């Protein structure tokens, strides 16, 4: 479908469609190779968790997928085209990005910050849905009650939820979320991952960077374990979250146990002994 200003408005993806494809990706930063030979796919209807220790390349991979970092080699495709073949407005209709931290220089009210997520749809037939999209996103993230408060007056966790609401209001079929639970309490960590599951159930592809392996195991369809700029393993968490692999990757002995009720993997550090090289 073509919008009024000739931008191509994406159709809803078919279940299981490849919304993003990464092939042979290499990224260099400051003369150092940060990602080396990454192959990965994000599919409609799935939550894909990127996990791994600090410095493994998770956020770099997400930024490259968002077209915020250039690839030294390899290819990234979004909605069937190389990511840099899309104009910025067209790309914004196809993927939304939640960075690790949200900062604004002016004291915008919360509702206006969320409304910024609708900017890519200006001038298209779908701009009529702006207020409904904003209201739904704020309700989902539980920020409606402070719609008129300045963003700068919010706590870190409240800012994180407002930033996620902006991403949801954008209504792009590919969501790229970098550590969305880092500043949140237990309730809102669960809330955010339930939102990820709901977006996937509605047909979106969600790629989320997580440090909490328990959340990844409970909510992700697939997990990619990054280590040293490469993918050490990828697949359903029940298959890839394995004692020896995680102990080696995190350089911390762990046990992986089934949850007594759900059977989802629980990753538990082995305590009472010092971490050792693995």
DSSP string, 172-224: -SEEEEESTTTT--HHHHHHHHHHHHHHHHTT-EEEEE-S-HHHHHHH-SEEE
Series of mean pLDDT values for 10-residue runs along the chain (278 residues)? 60 93 96 96 98 96 96 96 94 95 82 96 86 97 96 93 97 97 96 98 97 96 97 97 97 95 93 64
* Cβ(25)–Cβ(37) below 8 Å: yes
DSSP state for residue 150 in the 8-state scheme:
B
Q: What is the number of domains present in the chain?
A: 1
DSSP string, 49-65: EEE-STTSSHHHHHHHH
Range of the domain at 162: 18-243
- HSE-CB of 200 using CA atoms within 13 angstroms: 23
Residues 174 and 221: their CA atoms lie apart, in Å, by 15
Q: Is residue 164 part of a domain?
A: yes
Reduced to 3 states (helix: H, G, I; strand: E, B; else coil), residue 4 is coil
Q: Is 263 exposed, middle or buried (CB count within 10 Å of its CB: 0-12, 13-18, 19+)?
A: exposed
* Confidence (pLDDT) at 12: 87
Q: Which two tokens stand for residue 43?
A: 């599919």
Residues 59 and 262: their CA atoms lie apart, in Å, by 30
Q: Is residue 190 part of a domain?
A: yes
Q: Is residue 49 part of a domain?
A: yes
Using alpha carbons, list the distances in angstroms from residue 126 to 32, 56, 98, 183. 43, 39, 22, 33
Dihedral over Cα of 127, 129, 132, 135: its sign:
negative
**Chain centre to alpha carbon of residue 28:** 21
Which residues, other chains included, contact 258 with Cβ-Cβ below 8 Å and sequence gap of 6+? 264, 265, 266
Q: Is residue 251 part of a domain?
A: no
* Confidence (pLDDT) at 126: 84
List of E strands, 87-180: 95-98, 174-178
* Confidence (pLDDT) at 209: 98
* Confidence (pLDDT) at 8: 76
Q: Is residue 277 part of a domain?
A: no
- Start-to-end C-alpha separation, the chain: 53
β-strand partners of 221: none
Residues 66 and 60: their CA atoms lie apart, in Å, by 10
Q: Is residue 273 part of a domain?
A: no
Q: Is residue 115 part of a domain?
A: yes
Q: Is residue 134 part of a domain?
A: yes
**CATH code, domain with 63:** 3.40.50.300
* Confidence (pLDDT) at 278: 56
């Amino acid at each position: 479908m073509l919008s009024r200003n000739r931008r191509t408005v994406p159709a809803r993806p078919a279940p299981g469609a490849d919304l993003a494809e990464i092939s042979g990706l290499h990224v260099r930063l400051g003369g150092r190779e940060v990602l080396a030979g990454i192959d990965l796919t994000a599919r409609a209807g799935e939550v894909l968790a990127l996990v791994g220790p600090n410095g493994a390349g998770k956020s770099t991979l997400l930024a490259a997928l968002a077209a915020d970092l250039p690839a030294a080699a390899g290819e990234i495709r979004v909605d069937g085209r190389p990511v840099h073949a899309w104009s910025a407005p067209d790309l914004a209709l196809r993927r939304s990005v939640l960075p690790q931290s949200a900062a604004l220089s002016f004291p915008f009210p919360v509702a206006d910050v969320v409304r910024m997520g609708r900017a890519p749809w200006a001038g298209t037939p779908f701009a009529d849905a702006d207020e409904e999209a904003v209201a739904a996103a704020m309700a989902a993230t539980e920020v409606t009650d402070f719609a008129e408060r300045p963003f700068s007056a919010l706590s870190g966790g409240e800012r994180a939820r407002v930033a996620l609401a902006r991403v949801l209001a954008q209504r792009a079929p590919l969501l790229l979320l970098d550590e969305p639970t880092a500043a949140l309490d237990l309730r809102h960590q669960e809330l955010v991952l339930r939102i990820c599951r709901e977006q996937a159930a509605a047909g979106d592809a969600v790629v989320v960077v997580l440090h909490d392996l328990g959340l990844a195991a409970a909510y992700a369809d697939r997990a990619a374990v990054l280590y040293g700029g490469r993918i050490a393993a990828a697949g359903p968490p029940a298959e890839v979250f394995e004692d020896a692999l995680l102990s080696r990757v995190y350089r911390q002995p762990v046990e992986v146990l089934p949850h007594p009720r759900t059977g989802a993997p629980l990753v538990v550090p082995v305590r009472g002994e010092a971490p050792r090289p693995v």
